[in-house]
Structure 1
């Protein structure tokens, strides 16, 4: 069972055992004055992993400048190498690690791929594996076996692939690749994740008949991520036609190699920018793109709803806190990955908040709705789960343990609350390495007003 320090209300996504490092507690730094910080961030995970897949499927080499180096991207690199792609680190000018040169080759299976908890690996690469010769088995962390995968299995079978899952419709499963895939028309329900759509679009040009994809569900979450996929394909010479909402068509053809500059991860900017509202003062993120498909760009419009002032320059965004944090009513169906950090603001606000359109985040690294309610309520808060969201009634919070559930965004959410609440201790802050290995050091420096 979970050790007593983690006996929070009702929700326990670990089952009967805690992770090996659950007893490792990280005292969340408390802010003792207004912030005045400027920092840059590593590359976008979503863009890095999409460009890695496209580079592996391309007809010539590619170079990714300033890519993300994190657990999720490392898992993608390792998996593509196992499938026969050559990926070399080359010195670059970025502050967060080498550039990557990708040389595509003939794809081979006969391997087992570790997906960890990376949704992009477990959803994107089974499609790629249909184009490899031989069987490729996919598995991951224990939490990965609970993530929805039925749409991946059923869609690949509908397109002509041989997938053996022993009836689980979940990890682990094996894709028996034949070196090609017929492709053509397929209808899926991607209501639990837009990644199912992106996975098929990324490889669709390599199918013998191309791809004609339709979404049949009532709701399609995280549309900006699909827009991102379409934009990355356009950068490789692949045109995606969309004759109707929830319908996409790609003709069979080559995917071009390219030299790509990876944008900073704007979703990872969320906790740092939110900190300005909690502690007061200002936080500036450098390298902010003028145009982007990243969901994190919505922070520019969302944070003022909570009372922030946002200032833009040609290549930066500055958020300045107001006199208090305001409660909000939001539909975040297009920005689910921002929800945990914004819920932290709502828990510290001066009035109630209701955030809806986010039922799909129950199927992320953990059930984020249940986890947020459990952890905030465990610190004295009052969060109620709705069918498709959360209702937050702010109450004075107290210190105590904050479980991360092996979820990087749960960990950073606890850090935000810890700015205002003494004694918050975060279990397994190291889970932030999924997309931002430098988080703990950057956060300490932020609160200490040190150079970042």
Structure 2
């Protein structure tokens, strides 16, 4: 069944008739799942990923690794031996069986930043050429940081001088590695991409960022922690190393049994529903400690008018019935910007969101898209050099376009809770990271609205 047949071109965003009161289970983290897949594929022994996210981006990653020779077996567990109060581990699990990487193959990256950036370094370790191609928008997303760095480390890559897709990595079965200087100000994924494969490089790698401030630092910290969890030695600025320098030593990686955390960024629209409707939403299995940027929602949404409580069952967020504007530097949590902008458009005072100029290079130009779509519903949003200024205005119904961007779709759904008549164009794009979003959304409202 095609995506368009499941979700019509225009999806009427449900309007909340009262405060929501619901408990939701958010699927696994895309960021963790795709990093875990790469590390497991490069390990010296098989490993398990339990409760992985099954979405377009993660299936593209799994498909690409399989094409290069990695075994990924999917199983479903129907029972759990978990102790009372601990997470239920029933459900899907992937067994990853490392193997010699090979070409020639063609990899479809879709429009997944993690796939298009994390896999070219992996492809340098393959025996043979690996061609990368993807959606039309993927051609516009920058890859120069990864391409230039790999060339400096000894790789042969053909990209027609574009610094973007499509491209071919001519794998030689190994990469020398060593020190490299890159400008990763366009995407922290440039750094993560090199670090993830570095233990398999002959000399490891020393990545030195030489550009302006790095965005999305929590994602780099996530990469470092996951590398260490599989036995890699990583020196980083956070632990006393040089500023903006990461060193990974060459080593074998261990196969692990990893349970994927819920995707906290994908929990955003559900927490926003509590804030917008003055209701209460519990997100199950919220981790007590995490490197996921989405954990910042606890602080951000509390500042905008709610309160939260973290318990062994999950995070319960309660709206106060009022939404306040916020001045926030979102440079470390840029992926949260669309949802925060949607809530800010419904607030009782203006908001300024800064530090997110790099969002112009994401799935779409998110700053331009948010400005245009909110303003077409009657809003007053202006772009700044590195963000948005949002002045709340009474909004009206209308079409909210997504530009094939999953976070635009969920932002429109948030606005639709408070504004009757909002229609989301191509809500099916949420399948990129949050399968079944429309059913989860209507189910949440059915629980208490």
Shorter-chain TM-score tier:
over 0.9
Q: Does 1:69 align with 2:54?
A: yes
Q: Does 1:86 align with 2:80?
A: no
Q: Aligned residue for 1:361?
A: 359
Q: Provide the C-alpha distance between the structure 1 equivalents of 2:93 and 2:412, rounded to a whole number of angstroms.
A: 32
Contact 1:29 1:419 in 2 (8 A): yes
Q: Normalising by structure 1, report the TM-score.
A: 0.94
Once the two structures are superposed, the pairs formed by residues 100-179 of structure 1 within 5 Å of their partners are 100-179=94-173
Q: Provide the C-alpha distance between the structure 2 equivalents of 1:323 and 1:275, rounded to a whole number of angstroms.
A: 11
Q: Provide the C-alpha distance between the structure 1 equivalents of 2:259 and 2:133, rounded to a whole number of angstroms.
A: 31
Aligned residues: 433
Distance 1:354 1:187, change over 3 A: same
1:450 Cα deviation from its structure 2 partner? 6.5
Q: Does 1:45 align with 2:30?
A: yes
Q: Aligned residue for 1:193?
A: 187
Q: Provide the C-alpha distance between the structure 2 equivalents of 1:271 and 1:95, rounded to a whole number of angstroms.
A: 25
Contact 1:69 1:96 in 2 (8 A): no
1:397 Cα deviation from its structure 2 partner? 0.4
SS at match of 2:168: strand
Q: Provide the C-alpha distance between the structure 1 equivalents of 2:358 and 2:24, rounded to a whole number of angstroms.
A: 31
Q: Aligned residue for 2:42?
A: 57
Contact 2:4 2:428 in 1 (8 A): no
Distance 1:403 1:96, change over 3 A: farther
Q: Provide the C-alpha distance between the structure 1 equivalents of 2:277 and 2:442, rounded to a whole number of angstroms.
A: 14
Contact 2:187 2:214 in 1 (8 A): yes
Moved over 3 A (4+): 19-23, 93-97
1:91 Cα deviation from its structure 2 partner? 1.7
Q: Provide the C-alpha distance between the structure 1 equivalents of 2:275 and 2:115, rounded to a whole number of angstroms.
A: 34
1:167 Cα deviation from its structure 2 partner? 1.2
1:40 Cα deviation from its structure 2 partner? 1.1
Q: Does 1:215 align with 2:199?
A: no
Query: 1:174-196: per-residue Cα shift (whole Å, max 9, x none)?
Result: 00000000100000000011000
Alignment match of 1:342 (pick from 340, 343, 359): 340
1:315 Cα deviation from its structure 2 partner? 3.5
Q: Aligned residue for 2:399?
A: 401
Q: Normalising by structure 2, report the TM-score.
A: 0.94
Q: Provide the C-alpha distance between the structure 1 equivalents of 2:36 and 2:99, rounded to a whole number of angstroms.
A: 16
Query: 1:233-287: per-residue Cα shift (whole Å, max 9, x none)?
Result: 1110112102212101111111111110110111100000000111111000011
Q: Aligned residue for 2:11?
A: 26
Q: Does 1:180 align with 2:165?
A: no
Contact 2:277 2:321 in 1 (8 A): no
Q: Aligned residue for 2:83?
A: none
Q: Provide the C-alpha distance between the structure 2 equivalents of 1:38 and 1:48, rounded to a whole number of angstroms.
A: 23
Q: Gaps (5+ residues) in structure 1?
A: 1-18
Q: Does 1:206 align with 2:200?
A: yes
Contact 2:198 2:248 in 1 (8 A): yes
Alignment match of 2:248 (pick from 244, 247, 250): 250
Q: Aligned residue for 1:286?
A: 284
SS at match of 1:448: helix
Q: Provide the C-alpha distance between the structure 1 equivalents of 2:195 and 2:395, rounded to a whole number of angstroms.
A: 45
Alignment match of 1:274 (pick from 260, 272, 275): 272
1:92 Cα deviation from its structure 2 partner? 2.6
1:97 Cα deviation from its structure 2 partner? 4.9
Alignment match of 1:240 (pick from 223, 234, 243): 234
RMSD: 1.6
Q: Provide the C-alpha distance between the structure 2 equivalents of 1:149 and 1:234, rounded to a whole number of angstroms.
A: 26
Q: Provide the C-alpha distance between the structure 1 equivalents of 2:9 and 2:250, rounded to a whole number of angstroms.
A: 50
Query: 1:393-437: per-residue Cα shift (whole Å, max 9, x none)?
Result: 000000000101000000000000000001000000000000011
Q: Provide the C-alpha distance between the structure 2 equivalents of 1:245 and 1:431, rounded to a whole number of angstroms.
A: 38
Q: Aligned residue for 1:411?
A: 409
Q: Aligned residue for 2:259?
A: 261
